[in-house]
């Protein structure tokens, strides 16, 4: 969706565009083509190590890397995944 000024209906530059593009490139470079090895929830030790009260889903890849959601960039708690998969629209934290 483009940012527009309602009065002039001209496109406004979005200073976040460059930052978004930069992060998209980093994420695409790191994630595209990976193969999933295993999907499960953080175990009790991992949860305690993170200092969280809930567990999030973690996705392990065949190259030994993993990805899991957090409520924020500081890692203050487990997060949820939203999907476009019918019947699995939200993967909860437990």
Query: Residue 86 corresponds to which tokens in the numbers above?
Result: 């019918």
> Position of tokens 């939200």?
90
* Residue 6 exposure: Cα atoms within 13 Å on the Cβ side: 0
- Whether 70 and 79 have beta carbons less than 8 Å apart is answered as yes
- Predicted confidence at residue 53, as pLDDT, reads 96
Q: Please write the tens of the pLDDT for every residue from 29-88.
A: 999 999 999 999 999 999 999 999 999 999 999 999 999 999 999 999 999 999 999 999
Q: For the whole prediction, is pTM greater than 0.75?
A: yes
- Predicted confidence at residue 14, as pLDDT, reads 66
CA dist 78 and 92 (Å) reads 9
Q: Averaged over 5-20, what is the pLDDT? A: 67
- Predicted confidence at residue 10, as pLDDT, reads 57
- Predicted confidence at residue 16, as pLDDT, reads 75
Choose between 2 and 1: higher pLDDT. 2
Q: How far is CA 65 from the centre of its chain?
A: 15
- Whether 93 and 79 have beta carbons less than 8 Å apart is answered as yes
- Whether 38 and 60 have beta carbons less than 8 Å apart is answered as yes
- Predicted confidence at residue 13, as pLDDT, reads 62
Please determine, for residue 26, whether its predicted confidence score (pLDDT) is greater than 80.
Answer: yes
């Amino acid at each position: 969706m483009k940012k527009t000024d309602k009065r002039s209906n001209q496109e406004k530059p979005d200073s976040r565009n460059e930052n978004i593009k930069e992060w998209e490139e980093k994420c695409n470079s790191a994630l595209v083509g990976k193969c999933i090895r295993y999907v499960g929830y953080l175990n009790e030790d991992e949860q305690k190590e993170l200092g969280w009260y809930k567990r999030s889903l973690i996705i392990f890849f065949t190259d030994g890397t993993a990805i899991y959601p957090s409520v924020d960039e500081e890692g203050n708690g487990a997060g949820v995944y939203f999907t476009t998969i019918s019947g699995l629209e939200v993967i909860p934290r437990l």
